[in-house]
Amino acid sequence: MSGIRPTGFLHLGNYFGAIRNYVRMQEEFECFFMVADLHSLTTHPDTKELKSNVHRVLAENIACGLDPDKAAFYCQSHVYETSELYLHLNMLAYKGELEKTVTFKEKARQHPQNINAGLLTYPVLQAADILIHRASLVPVGKDQEQHLEMARTFANRFNHRYGDVFPEPMAFNYSQELVKVPSLDGTGKMSKSENQMATLYLADSDEMIRKKVMKAKTDSGPTTPGAEKPDYITNIFLLLRLVSTPDVLGKFESDYDNCSIRYGDLKKQLAEDMVNFIGPIREKVNAIMNDENYLKAVMEKGAAKARESSRATMALVREAVGLNYF
Ligand code: ADP
């Protein structure tokens, strides 16, 4: 189970941190993927663009290979049972631990006029999204590690107080470690809403991709063989590893090691490989976005599957809590 907020254009971080795993997992597991529209209201209360943003996230995931016939692909707000579970979990979540959450502190800093209770209890709603399907594997990027730990805590507290209903959800990635795709200027992660000129979006034009990559921070190169890479150079190599062939990567690695690397050439190569990676996805997204009937059918089908699983969980939850006197 996993979700992405409809708060803007998807980027390379979303792709490599999350969607790439969805596409593999749908072949092996029963999967639930959702557009987290309710979560987006905690920071984006204006809903004028919500519908088109939801359509975009649906289309972008499908263009990346998510198959709505294999996985349940739905909108969070279409599954009402999640709100009920959220209420129960809120009684097992403590103010102190919620206030300490890194993402809460960050968002409170970014939106000082709107530090609402929904923002504070964001990890509780996220736990409800996961636990409503009694999911055990959650494909997310590294930035979500703390939220996952909180979801485990809430699941364990519930089980301890009322009896075993939930498995312990674990963050999941096919590679050894959770992925964090860095921003091109080396100051944090690629993100939907911040630092947009240092983030590569799946909707960026070829020209925009080239422009952003060519502006990535570099320096004059190493002067001693086998020197350690500074963070911003490690980041460029990380991007190269994601979209270029092993041969290309190997060539630039050895150029770096023997101090003959030319960052201009490296960035030109990276830009072209990035254009070849993102271009076809962008074209597919545009075609899917134009087919509203198809997107509606996807949402209906996904909601039906997600509701079935949610209803079964809530029957167990109500029974376990002791709300069985009706
Ligand atoms: P954003 O932070 O861009 O708004 P979301 O919060 O909607 O994205 O996260 C959607 C998924 O994408 C989550 O699984 C998150 O861990 C992953 N993700 C977001 N940014 C990155 C990044 N730069 N690197 C790796 N994974 C990321």
Q: Is residue 179 part of a domain?
A: no
Residue 219: CATH number of its domain: 1.10.240.10
Could you tell me if the CB of 13 is within 6 A of ligand 1?
A: yes
Compute, in degrees rounded to 10, the torsion defined by CA atoms 282, 197, 180, 56: -30
19 in the same domain as 149? yes
Kindly state the greatest CA–CA separation across the chain: 77
127 in the same domain as 38? yes
Could you tell me if the CB of 53 is within 6 A of ligand 1?
A: no
279 in the same domain as 312? no
The residues annotated with a catalytic role in the active site are 107, 189, 192
DSSP bridge partners of 75: 35
152 in the same domain as 77? yes
Strand-pair category, 2-4 with 32-35? parallel
66 in the same domain as 154? yes
Q: Is residue 182 part of a domain?
A: no
Instruction: Determine the 3-state secondary structure of 73 from DSSP.
Output: strand
Chunk the chain into consecutive blocks of 10 residues (it has 326) and report each block's average pLDDT, rounded to whole numbers. Answer: 94 92 96 98 94 97 98 98 98 98 94 95 98 96 93 98 98 84 88 88 97 94 92 92 96 96 97 98 96 97 98 98 91
Contact 237, 252 (CB under 8 A): yes
Q: Is residue 227 part of a domain?
A: yes
DSSP string computed for 47-74: -TTHHHHHHHHHHHHHHTT--TTTSEEE
Could you tell me if the CB of 55 is within 6 A of ligand 1?
A: no
29 in the same domain as 117? yes
Q: Is residue 177 part of a domain?
A: no
Tens of pLDDT, residues 206-246: 999 999 999 999 999 999 998 999 989 998 999 999 999 99
Could you tell me if the CB of 84 is within 6 A of ligand 1?
A: no
Q: Say what the pLDDT of residue 17 is.
A: 86
Q: Say what the pLDDT of residue 142 is.
A: 86
Residue 124: CATH number of its domain: 3.40.50.620
Q: Is residue 205 part of a domain?
A: yes
268 in the same domain as 148? no
Expressed in angstroms and rounded, the spacing between residue 126 Cα and the centre of ligand 1 is 14
Q: Say what the pLDDT of residue 180 is.
A: 87
Q: Which residue range is the domain that position 227 belongs to?
A: 196-286
Q: Which of 184, 178, 167 is nearest to 140 (CA)?
A: 178
267 in the same domain as 205? yes
Q: Is residue 188 part of a domain?
A: no
| Nearest CA owner, ligand 1 atom 10 | 4
Q: Say what the pLDDT of residue 326 is.
A: 76
209 in the same domain as 120? no
Tell me whether residue 30 is exposed, middle or buried, using C-beta atoms within 10 angstroms of its C-beta: 0 to 12, 13 to 18, 19 or more: middle
89 in the same domain as 18? yes
Tally of domains within the chain: 2
124 in the same domain as 13? yes
Q: Say what the pLDDT of residue 185 is.
A: 87
11 in the same domain as 158? yes
Q: Is residue 146 part of a domain?
A: yes
